[in-house]
Structure 1
Amino acid sequence: MLVLPGSSSISYSKREALLRNIKKNCPRVASVDAVWIHLIQCKTPENEVELSKTSSPFRILLDTLLAYGDIILLDGTLAALTAHQNVAYILPRPGSISPWSSKATDIAVLCNLAQRVERLERGTAFIFTTTDYKPITETDIATFDHLIHDRMTQVIDLSPPHQSELFLHEKPKPLRIVELTPQPSSRDDTKARLIIANKELGLALAPDEITYLVDAYVSGKSAMGRNPTDAELFMFAQVNSEHCRHKIFNASWTIDGQVQPSSLFQMIRNTEKISAKGTISAYSDNAAVLEGHSAPRFGVTSGQRYGTKEEDMPILVKVETHNHPTAVSPHPGAATGSGGEIRDEGAVGRGSKPKAGLAGFTVSNLLIPGYEQPWETDFGRPTHIASALDIMIEGPLGASAFNNEFGRPALAGYFRTFSERIPLSVDDSLSEVRGYHKPIMIAGGYGNVRPHFAKKEPIAPGSKIIVLGGPGMLIGLGGGAASSQVSGASSAELDFASVQRDNAEMQRRCQQVIDACVCVEDGNPIESIHDVGAGGLSNALPELVHDSDLGAIFEIRDVLVADSSMSPMEIWCNESQERYVLAVSVDKLEAFVAIAKRERCPFSIVGVATQEQELIVTDRLFNKDVIRLKMSTLFGKPPKMSRKDTSRKIDRVEFDSSLAGHVPSTQSIADRLQPAIERVMRLPSVGSKSFLITIGDRTITGLVTRDQMVGPWQVPVADVAVTRSSYGFDVLCGEAMAMGERTPLALLDAAASARMAVAESLTNLAAAHIGDMSRVKLSANWMCAASKEGEGAALYAAVRAVGFNVDVDALA
């Protein structure tokens, strides 16, 4: 293995900020610098000798590929790096492959290095000096290691990297059996053991689900009479999480002692039920599909040439949140929020095309050091939840970076802060703190789908089931369950383990495969497609075949993985990003394989659909069944959730619009207004959002007609984003989207908050020429934890206040 230093890995400003933060934890650190280090795994020892010679033409080519970025090194950095003095090496976890590696290795192959280079990998070397001139120690590093590495995907070492460690492939961990039936045993003993497993594994199972599983495995009339595997329990927890099944929205409700006639979902779907004009599909796919305009669609024609064809351009629309991951790890959390929403768009029907996106953030008070605002109070937060300031520094960068690298413009967004002590009585004797320590991170957007591929086809028994995209890694484990819990209810380790990591380049390649498939007019190989999100393959693969009332047989060792040490449960349940699952008929498998290889997109044929509705996952390595369940057990319905709540009646203090209670009465109206205006203009929900917009490329695709930056001075004042249906100067039709949110108003009146959010969306959208109001459709995201008395009643009132006629994604 060759180790070649590169350019600086952080800018001047980030280096200074990092040093300040490090010194807070370890005062004896005097300076810090950071350099990329490139790790080249060669095919043979002879290749390594050849590439180690700087005069070799292939070494010159390799150096040219690795010459990027700025070199702003401090004096002495290279000398210290060469001598390995006071250096901390941040490297990918052994056995894993970083997103950079997958891109760089592919580029090296295209540049004729395939015969000499097995793999390129990258790490970072942090070089320190100390005030007492003593070496930096592991104890020192431990005080600030969270500032310089991601503990889920990287390791820290004070020794130089070795090939035997970095490219080591450890033995796979075995399947685990969860013992529920020791002898002698009672039903209560069995339930107690499952409750313990529920806590240890972070499953977030409800009491009725624990009872359901005990009956299914041990105590019921049709019990399987065996212990479950950890993969089965983990899969059940993700598939049946609030995140995936929306149990609260399907629950029956009793408000103020009165049984309510409709569930939340029944109310949401009512408008579409009575007036479905313009809706092609809703509540049945990864995103809703609406009628669009007719336009010349640009793509590969039947003659294998690029061209246009006049056809309808149905619009798909989606919005969802990624709150828990953004709270725990802001940059990757927000990045994979945008990435997951993009995949939802691409996995509509038999394959579709994302077009434009949006992102929004709501957090608690920023409390910027030295710039705290008069209304801000530090109420504290859970220790493993990022601060509001860290979220707003890193989160927007993550969302924008993914959009940019994938190739989709992010055209709209919002930013709100709120954290206040709210009086519950007129005399202020009772109060509570309400805010957004667990932030809201909204990702949304729209795209287009070909009219004849807008709906999924039934999968035929015998069809091959394929995982398309990057290899699995031990990241994003248990995200569906973790995001369904109250923030901080799980352990810090389980919370952090549940956060995915992004690889926009891999997702772009997947999208190119989808694009190529839908260009095949009569021979689209894709019968049905789903994105891989919460729960990983354990949710996506069963759901794919269950939609066609089928079962499937899978082989766990056919799934591509980057970490050979993963157990069957970890392979089956991890949420590694940038993957899709799809069904391809046997007669079109060859065509699909050819497309995937041409686009250099990894894929694996992992199973086959079966007529028998049973889910079987085998493991040829350990010669055991990882999973063997009836589909009716996995997707069965535990007792329907029932919710009771009482409306909260609070005596509120009347708002004093005169400002008399806040400033001396001797001051003039102008004097009173001045500080009020300054406060209002400094409030993030009112002030400039340019930092959310200028960090992204808003011109990519060539179809953007309007983003939020308007006029010759590019002022971020537009309230609506507009795109064209397709290319051409004569194309005068397209799509428009706008956002609305009024969450703090819900503290006073939840129904009014919902109506105001819709009203804001409509008035913002009015800046575009939308024609008839009936063409406007609404996609909404509900935050429905409702963990305090009165919140369930407020949620019910908000849903009742607004009728929706397009897809709604409800997350806890």
Structure 2
Amino acid sequence: MLPYHGSYESYCGEAMAIGERTTVALLDGPASARMAIAESLTNIMASSIAKISDIKLSANWMAPAGHPGEDAVLYDTVKTVGMEICPQLGLTIPVGKDSMSMKTVWKDGEVDKAVTAPLSLVITAFSPVTDVRKTLTPQIRTDIEDTGLLLIDLGFGNNRLGGSALAQTYKQIGDVPPDVDDASQLKAFFDVFQKLNTQGKFIAWHDRSDGGLFACICEMAFAGHCGLNVQLDSMLIDNDSDAISVLFNEEVGGVLQVKCDDVQDIEAAFAEVGLADCVHELGRIYEDDQSTINNNGLPLFSASRVSLQQAWSETSYHMQLLRDNPESAQQEFDAIAENDVGLSVKLSFDINEDIAMPYINKGIRPDVAILREQGVNGQIEMAAAFDRAGFNAIDVHMSDIINGDLDFERFKGLVACGGFSYGDVLGAGEGWAKSILFNSRARDVFENYFNREDTFSLGVCNGCQMMANLKSLIPGAEHWPHFVKNNSEQFEGRFSLVEVMESPSILMQGMAGSIMPIAVAHGEGRAEYKSTEQRQSAKSIMRFVNHDLQTTQAYPLNPNGSPDGLTGFCNEDGRATIMMPHPERVFRAVQHSWYPDEWQEDSPWMRMFRNARAFTE
């Protein structure tokens, strides 16, 4: 039996976050290390962590050892990390690495040349998470009434601009960098943050780091597709020039979205731990697209979310134009200007109905083969989904078949999993199929299985590509397409919206007409047909749709560029199903990066696995 260690039954998890402040090291090495640790904490604290000592740090040191002055800076920086701030916070660093050769020298003719990189410390924080459902994101929620924003400023009004992104835009470094002046305040902030988040007082959180407060609130607005009305009055600004330092300093802190009714309780909780002066009310959220920053009732800045997000995305867009398919890059950039309503769900069935329960209650668990090849990594979650649906999931490797150690006689289900088979080289699924087609024993085992009328089969991702190349062995699958490189010319890892279509697939029974999000992770997912007749004859089971719930060809809502958005197929009698998206990665509601508040334990994709259990009866 394939074990999955219960990780698909609990709400515990783990979190990782990174912090770095390399530019600050040009001004103050120890300050850069303290800020890197602080940034890792303000990132990871969005997760539900029982206590700060549960967090462990990995330290990646880089320095030009031997360069004048750098050895002393490195010593002071290591000292402040190992003997000062980490003990003060109760943190340990059990692992790390170093690169002490961050300098290169060479001769250009008679001229000596050198490039020296500054001291750099990259901190990776990792921790167990007590309840992943309480994880906060930067997405502003516009569906919750009467909310506002709070700035948590652990710089306590210092607003130091040294080493900031703003300084760099003026080709400067600055003079005085931000710092962690009192580690006990950072620890108190972490503790009160976790307490209030456990009580459900927070809606969204984004730390203030690269770009400062201005970048922080803009990114929150981009995620929420909304505008903001920000007031800077509470930060005691005497004149408009001070607004620059307030908006662009990169001191420790961040922005919270909270219910207005909870503001008084939140401020009281911060005051209890000596942090009353770090909480500032910023203002409200607009459902229209305009963001305005005010001081003492006068507007300092106003712009639309679209114009700001396009400016924010422009560098990435120009890189994509050179690196990716330019047409895909253009479509993604143009989509920023569209009135996107975001993800939604439309179901044709009861998400909480367990149609497999009567059969599970019999105590009979049919065997399902969870098939994998070298490099496949999706077998554990696939086994967990089928186990929950009432199957006995058995780990089967291709070597078991080729060596003659196993056949499929005992199995009612056969599932070819995805995730980097053969290191995800181009055509990996096709290579997997050829290891079957060109091996007489393996070919017979698969062909005999597919011809049994009491079995079902499923191929996902690499497994989809593999089974599509086995269509000569699968009755009624002759019209299946071939799967080739995505139109974007890149691997696509996304959370996409699909519509389930009417089809004979035994896995999709009762789900037709449903629209719901699903995980996508593939580099070769575009369906390719030899002819129009093949395209029209293929039995389609699902297609990508846009956020207006219409079939889409546009990137990135159709991540691979498949014609008509079609991304899943079945054979004539519905017993064999293939699809590019990963339903096994989202069979629980909590696995989704977004889902409606009313969803409980199951996601709609659990119905697919229970349909398989019902079929075996």
Measured against the shorter chain, the TM-score band is 0.3 to 0.5
Question: TM-score, normalising length from structure 1?
Answer: 0.35
Question: TM-score, normalising length from structure 2?
Answer: 0.45
